[in-house]
Amino acid sequence: MQRIGVFVCHCGTNIAGTIDVKAVAEALKNEPGVVFSTDYQYMCSQAGQDIIKNAIAEHKLTGIVVCSCSPRMHENTFRKTAAAAGLNSYMVEIANIREQCSWVHKEMPVGTEKAIILGKAAVAKVNLNAPLTPGESPVTKRALVIGGGIAGIQTALDIADAGFPVDIVETKPTIGGKMAQLDKTFPTLDCAACILTPKMVEVAQHENIRIFSYSEVSEIKGFVGNFDVTIKRRARYVKEDLCTGCGACTEKCPQKKVPNEFNLGMDNRRAIYIPFAQAVPKVATIDADYCTMLKTGKCGVCSKVCTAGAIDYQAKDEFVEEKYGAIVAATGFNPISMDKFDEYAYSQSKDVITSLEFERLTNAAGPTAGKLLRPSDGEHPHTIVFVQCVGSRCAACAEKGKEYCSKICCMYTAKHAMLTRDKYPDTDVYVFYIDVRTPGKAFDEFYRRAVEEYGVHYIKGMVGKVSPEGNKLKVQASDLIAGKQLHIDADLVVLAAAIEPDKSARPLATMLTASMDTNDFFTEAHPKLRPVESPTAGVFLSGTCQGPKDIPETVSQAGAAASKVIGLLAKDKLTGNPCVAHSDENMCNGCSTCGNVCPYGAITYEDKEFRMPDRTTKMRRIAVVNEAVCQGCGCCTVACMSGAMDLKGFMNKQIMAEVDAICK
């Protein structure tokens, strides 16, 4: 039996004005377990807290009920008071007789009666309280950033600058991501490479950063502060420590017909290659799918020309195991496939291209050395049609495209149109759009310049069909404002393809037990207040893996994610919330229903041996809650039909005792 003390606060006249506090204290004296009951003007004051401390000592109280303002105000205060008097701070319950009683009811008898009932409910609960101790777990002071685009780069740099070691895992042979493929960036039109590559070099040279390029995460175990991660380093057949990046091998390799993914297949590279001049790490990689030596055992040219002796045909995939305290997902995006958009003739004509392909066509390091030439015949295009929202805002055709707005297309299309008119003023440029969305600093001004200064023809309406005829592309479109059909003979059609999360994000989310939305974007812990954290503790989100973003937004989110990581890694120990779920292994039947509803992946299952009454043993599957990961929502407790799963601090019995006390 508990020895409970009840402390009724007047809160000046806030409570005492409509509640007879003395009557409340008197009535609660008779409740089971209550050995002491009093009232005071301001319980939260030092003098009030002293009354509580003295009573705990004098009456050997094992639990206290404070009838006062909302627990959201002073629960913590009174918990500290209890702790100072040597009582476990979770033996404190608050009856909210101010916000939910004296302030909403006008008549003294009504308020008093309700306050007594609320007090009884709190007493009934404390009777079933048990001391709780928050769990502690150590923090591994190292962060993992998955993805080496601008988001991952910025996050890694910020964490590393704060003094914590960071590893970047990137699937491609080089970091840099999509930004490395871009030509200019809106709205300032500075060159993407000029602002990105110094950051890439900084990453390479940073003493706190390691880059695992051409690698992927293959397994993640553990929880916040204590992740065990296995990284698969794919065999690149070139020793990274020996290769000097001189590129001799990439010039001599006889296999010249490999589609160059960096230029989106618009030209070819060799079987041994460095993706682009400023690649980091600047190390060659052998493409095992095309290398004659690896496929047939006959060639070996690269090995012969390599003066550093870096080529290793025997290389195997390697696995690195490392511990991390925090993980940042920065897996980025890709334009969606144009396969389902046959109305734009993407698969029928080389001159129908995506916007990212257009970037490469205008990039000085691209397949045309920066000259805007038609992919089919290398001629200069004189009429270019840009089509916006190809697969974006596609609510009616969800199986084809995406319901969401890809956010960046309006601006890069304005950029493409403007740059084209700037470099080639003899070119007619049409942009077909649903809406032009330009919310961002200096964005609308930029778009208006494209229209007003550069004479880009913006037409509200969608393109219905593109048909290749001879060396022209017949574009049929509607002009919604003029209310007429348009027919344009274009030389080049550029599709602003919707963007979607990288395919690696979904399996990564599964490994992290991080939640995703239906579009495979990572879900944030709170859409407004915790936008860079995943609901899964210790997992943070950077860049477009969380939703479509442009570069400035990505960089600021990357920095925000880094600051959250730094905040976590700066701690030596993590103190958990002790009000977490707990499964009674004797009752658990291992059905896995609880794990299905846990938003944090805090529940795992294991086989455990049980001794049976007849002295035999039996293996049974049971649920185990990781207290460091559980956030205490209690969803699992309702999913659990056997009642094995319960929530400390809000146990089934406690809530039912409150119900009973209220309904008595």
Would you tell me which residues interact with other proteins (CB under 8 A)? 70-72, 96, 98-101, 103-106, 110-111, 113-114, 117-118, 121, 515, 523, 525-527, 535, 579, 586-593, 596-597, 599, 605, 618, 620-621, 631-635, 637-639, 641-644, 647, 650, 652-653, 655-656, 658-660, 662-664
Side-chain half-sphere of 62: how many Cα atoms within 13 Å?
Answer: 13
Min dist. Cβ of residue 51 to other proteins (A): 25
**CB nearer other proteins, residue 280 or residue 516:** 516
Min dist. Cβ of residue 396 to other proteins (A): 16
Question: Nearest Cα to 351, choosing from 465, 470, 494, 488?
Answer: 494
**CB nearer other proteins, residue 104 or residue 482:** 104
CA distances for 362 relative to 162, 371, 406, 425, angstroms = 38, 6, 22, 15
Alpha helix segments (H runs only) across 306-453: 355-362, 409-423, 443-452
Give residue 369's region: left, alpha or beta (phi > 0; psi -120 to 50): left
Q: What is the DSSP string of 449-491?
A: HHHHTT--EEEES-EEEEEEETTEEEEEEEETTTTEEEEEEES
Cβ neighbours of 445 (radius 10 Å): 10
**CB nearer other proteins, residue 562 or residue 647:** 647
Min dist. Cβ of residue 643 to other proteins (A): 5
Contact 347, 247 (CB under 8 A): no
CB-based contacts of 44: which residues, under 8 Å, 6+ apart? Answer: 9, 68, 69, 74, 77, 78
Residues for the chain: how many in total? 664
**CB nearer other proteins, residue 320 or residue 579:** 579
Min dist. Cβ of residue 4 to other proteins (A): 19
Cα gap 286→266, rounded to integer Å: 20
* Residue found by looking up tokens 């601008």 in the block: 150
Min dist. Cβ of residue 18 to other proteins (A): 10
Min dist. Cβ of residue 657 to other proteins (A): 8
**CB nearer other proteins, residue 405 or residue 633:** 633
**CB nearer other proteins, residue 109 or residue 138:** 109
Min dist. Cβ of residue 336 to other proteins (A): 22
**CB nearer other proteins, residue 251 or residue 660:** 660
Min dist. Cβ of residue 93 to other proteins (A): 10
Min dist. Cβ of residue 70 to other proteins (A): 5
**CB nearer other proteins, residue 112 or residue 413:** 112
- CA 204, 209, 213: angle at the middle one, nearest 5? 65
In angstroms, the first-to-last Cα distance of the chain is 21
Tokens coding 549:
């973003």
Alpha helix segments (H runs only) across 502-592: 505-512, 551-569
**CB nearer other proteins, residue 79 or residue 184:** 79
